Amino acid sequence: MPRAKQRTSELREHVLSVAVATLADSGVAAFTTRRVAQRARTSTPAVYELFGDKAGLVREVFFEGFRRLGERFGTLEQTADPRADLKAVLGAFREFGRDNPVLAELMFSRPFADFDPGPGELAAAAAVREFIVAAVRRCTSAGLLRGTDTDIAHVLVALAQGLAAQEAAGWLGSTPAARDRRWALAITAVLNGLATPQAREASL
């Protein structure tokens, strides 16, 4: 009698959820397919059947990270103040990195030698970046910021990634107040530097 297929959508979602939790708990160095299978109460062959290999499992965790970040962005409400809304987007980025430091490392730093993001993975990252581009575009359209929307978005994402990595490593300050102050200082300095002359005059 042939062995029953182990590949089910329910098991796949369960293993993926366990993989995200395992990455968070164990870190990149200790993340193995066998460990994920044990924690998911299934077999290593079942995980391979679902995801192909370890790189396939890591790839799906990568996608899941961007899906969760996109969900967090989706909870933000748009107001009449584009600059405040842009800062809220960066704040949500910070919260995601603070809540999911190892997952954020996978998404933005490529720590696995056997996983190199391809076109599909880069498209997932681009979708999140486009959300930030749209928030920037509202600011440039309102005459608050000057420059190319995509260029500004890249700068802000790089700034937020760097700050989030420093915060996760404990280098941004030993107290919440210090960390908050340094985030605010960096973001305010960049936004003020990109502000149009009219916006600068209005803020005086």
Output the DSSP codes for 135-204: HHHHHHHTTSB-S-HHHHHHHHHHHHHHHHHHHHTT-S-SSHHHHHHHHHHHHHHHHHHHB-HHHHHHH-
pLDDT at 121: 65
What gap in Å lies between CA 23 and CA 29, rounded to an integer? 9
Q: Are residues 24 and 93 in the same domain?
A: no
Q: How far is CA 197 from CA 7, 111, 149, 202, in A?
A: 59, 42, 17, 9
For CA atoms 170, 171, 177, 180, give the dihedral sign: negative
**pLDDT over threshold 60, residue 5:** no
**72 and 43, same structural domain?**
no
Indicate if 24 and 110 belong to the same structural domain: no
**Average pLDDT value for the chain:** 88
In a domain, 80, yes or no: yes
The answer to whether residue 204 scores a pLDDT higher than 90 is no
CA–CA distance, 180 with 122 (Å, rounded to integer): 30
- CATH of residue 20: 1.10.10.60
Both structure tokens of 25: 């708990």
Which range has highest mean pLDDT (63-72, 107-116, 132-141)?
Answer: 132-141
Question: By residue range, what is the domain housing residue 21?
Answer: 1-52
pLDDT in the model for residue 4: 42
> Is residue 2 scored above 60 in pLDDT?
no
Residue 57 lies in a domain: no
As a whole number of angstroms, the distance between CA 68 and CA 192 comes to 30
Question: Which run of H or of E encompasses 55?
Answer: helix 54-74
Whole-number pLDDT of residue 62: 87
Residue 108 lies in a domain: yes
16 contacts: CB under 8 Å, gap ≥ 6: 60, 61, 64
pLDDT of residue 105: 86
Residues 166 and 79 in one domain: yes
184 and 104 in a common domain = yes
Check whether 1 has a pLDDT greater than 60: no
Same domain, yes or no: 16 and 74? no
pLDDT band at 115 (very low <50, low <70, confident <90, very high): low
Residues 100 and 176 in one domain: yes
The tally of domains found in the chain comes to: 2
Determine what percent of the chain is predicted with pLDDT higher than 70.
89
Structural domain contains residue 128: yes
> What phi-psi label fits residue 9: left (phi over 0), alpha (psi between -120 and 50 degrees) or beta?
alpha
d(CA 24, CA 15): 14
Same domain? For 166 and 127 the reply is yes
Residue 6 reports pLDDT greater than 60: no
Q: Which residue, chain included where needed, has tokens 């909870």?
A: 75
Q: Which tens digits make up the pLDDT trace of 47-82?
A: 999 999 898 999 889 888 988 998 999 999 999 999
pLDDT band at residue 114, thresholds of 50, 70 and 90?
low
pTM for the model stands at 0.84
